[in-house]
Structure formats: C-alpha cells, structure tokens
Amino acid sequence: MSNLGERGHLLTEQVNPYSLNLDQLSSIEVVELFNQEDQKAVAAVAAAKLELANAIERTSTQLSQGGRLFYIGAGTSGRLGVLDAAECPPTFCTPPELVQGIIAGGAGALVRSSEDLEDRSEDGAEAIAQRQINQLDVVVGITAGGTTPFVHGAIAAARQRGAVTIFIACVPIEQVSCDVDIDIRLLTGPEILAGSTRLKAGTATKLALNVLSTGVMVKLGKVYGNRMVDVAVTNQKLRDRAVRILQDLTDLSREAADFLLDHSGKSVKLALLIHWTGLEKTTAQQLLTAHQGNLRAAVNSQK
C-alpha cells in the first residue's frame, strides 16, 4: 500500500479540469456538468464487468454453502455498504445476518461524520474477529481512495481467517494495491468538487453494490424471471404484490391467487410450484427444499 500521509497523487484526489470555474456556474450549468460527469460512473462499472461477474459467482457459491456476505468501509463507502445490506431482507426475504454492513464508528457513523475513526486498522481487524468470520464468508472492503486503514486491517484479518476477499476502490491498482481474491476498480476520475468521493465515486460504488447483491440473490434462486418471488408477505402492500405476482405468472383470477397464497402459507414460491406441478403442499415444499429454494430448478425437475 502507498504512503498514507501523501494522497495528492490519487485519482480521486486530483483536480477536475471541467469544473475549475464551479463557483461561477449558473444552476443549470451545474446540473449539466454533473450529468455529464455522472455518466463516467456508469462507464466505470461497465469497465469492471469481468471482476463484478467473478464476485457474483464466488459470493453466491459461498452463500449457498452457508457463508455470509460482509461489506466493510468508512464514511460514504461504509454507509453505502450498510445501505445495501439493510435492503436485502425486505427485497429478498433473507435473514439479517446473511448480508451485513460494517462501518467504522458503528451505527452512529451512519448519521454523523466519524471519518477520524477510519485510520485505525486494528479496529477493522477487531470487527472481523467479533463476527467470527470464517472460510465460508465473503468480505468486501470498500474505499473510494483505496487507502482507508480500517478497511485494509479488516481485509488482512479476513484473509487470515480464510474468507473470500473482495476490494472495491476508485483508484488504479498501481496507485494503491491490496492483496485480495477479487480486485474491483471503478475508475471514475477526478470529482467535480475535488476530493469529494461521495459524488461520482459514491455513485459508481452504489451501482456496483446493486449489481453484486442482486446478482448473488438471483443465483441463490431468490428471483423467478424478474419477479421478487421471495417477497415477505408481512403487510397489505406486500400481500398485494404477492397476489399480483401470482396473477402475472399464472392464469388465475385475483380471488384464486389470493386463495392459493393463503393455502401455501403466504409463500409465493410454494404457491407457484403447487399451481404448476399439481403437487400437494407438503410434497411441493419438500421438492423446493431439495432444490435449495430454487423455484425454476424445482419446476424443471418435474418435466
């Protein structure tokens, strides 16, 4: 890793030539400049597609064997990891421990700045030890500028414990290196506001995490087609969504779909399997379990 004291050479710290007169732009010019620069975030994710695909494959394999996914970071990077982790249970009905976000400074750092806590690599290592991370787990270190000691300490500790490690940074590998299994670089270039990595770097990171977590959940059978078939039916809005999914994927009326949902214990997956195969509820559940909850695999096994 490069000298942490001097960071001016880092891509994320450099001055953007297109925004030198930022304080003199009109509001519409500010919006246009942001829109122009933000397109580089999408391009940066596209350039990292092979590494992201590898991350999806490795992570889904680990999780299917009982592993967990951890995001770890500080500041904006940490908040984005916590956000992605927090959105997995309502979207994919996953247990909260399956995908976890770790941020330097803990929960309080989500709502107030605690960037001073990112300089302690031993805190990162301690966070890994506290969660008893092992060889089944995946640890994703997120740091826009690539140098955050908290993240490097966590990655090193995770590697010692045999976990699969992934690094997401917005600087080239020749500027900051990290010994990991998968190295994802999102090269978004200098920020409009020099050094403010909550901008393009943060946007690219959010896009990459969207791809990673959703891709993993697709591989784990949490999705059928592009439908959220593992939706948790815990309120009226979600019950309505579940019924509509059943209607969309079958020829059932709303009333019939509603009845089928109740018959299947409010499980959209089980309802669809019963409808498509004609199996009894208990047999259908056993079949679904035998295919690790993958609806398409369970259905195809009956053809």
Q: What digits encode the pLDDT tens for the residues 199-247? A: 999 999 999 999 999 999 999 999 999 998 988 788 899 899 999 999 9
Distance between CA atoms of residues 140 and 159, nearest Å: 11
One domain for residues 165 and 292? no
Q: What digits encode the pLDDT tens for the residues 235-287? A: 899 899 999 999 999 999 999 999 999 999 999 999 999 999 999 999 999 99
One domain for residues 240 and 211? no
5 pLDDT band (50/70/90 cuts)? low
pLDDT at 116: 66
One domain for residues 215 and 246? no
- 4 inside domain: no
Map tokens 């500041």 to a residue: 75
- 280 inside domain: yes
One domain for residues 177 and 259? no
Which of the following is catalytic: 57, 87, 115, 126?
87
Count of residues making up the chain: 303
Distance between CA atoms of residues 227 and 286, nearest Å: 22
What's the rounded mean pLDDT across residues 137-153?
Answer: 96
Q: What digits encode the pLDDT tens for the residues 44-78? A: 999 999 999 999 999 999 999 999 999 999 999 99
One domain for residues 129 and 240? no
Which of the following is catalytic: 37, 51, 118, 191?
118
- 251 inside domain: yes
127 pLDDT band (50/70/90 cuts)? very high
**What token pair was written down for 200?**
């393009």
- Phi-psi region at 190: left, alpha or beta (left = phi > 0; alpha = psi -120 to 50): beta
- 172 inside domain: yes
Distance between CA atoms of residues 40 and 154, nearest Å: 29
Instruction: Let me know if 57 is a catalytic residue.
Output: no
- 3 inside domain: no
Instruction: Let me know if 87 is a catalytic residue.
Output: yes
* Pairing between β-strand 164-169 and β-strand 182-185 as defined by DSSP bridges: parallel
CA–centroid distance for 280 within its chain: 36
One domain for residues 242 and 188? no
Distance between CA atoms of residues 300 and 134, nearest Å: 34
Domain boundary among 219, 245, 265: 219
One domain for residues 17 and 59? yes
pLDDT at 107: 81
35 pLDDT band (50/70/90 cuts)? very high
One domain for residues 92 and 184? yes
> What total number of domains does the chain contain?
2
CATH classification at residue 69: 3.40.50.10490
One domain for residues 201 and 62? yes
114 pLDDT band (50/70/90 cuts)? low
One domain for residues 29 and 106? yes
Domain that holds residue 126: 11-219
What's the rounded mean pLDDT across residues 11-34?
Answer: 96
For residue 236, with 0-12 CB atoms within 10 Å meaning exposed, 13-18 middle and 19 or more buried, which class applies? exposed
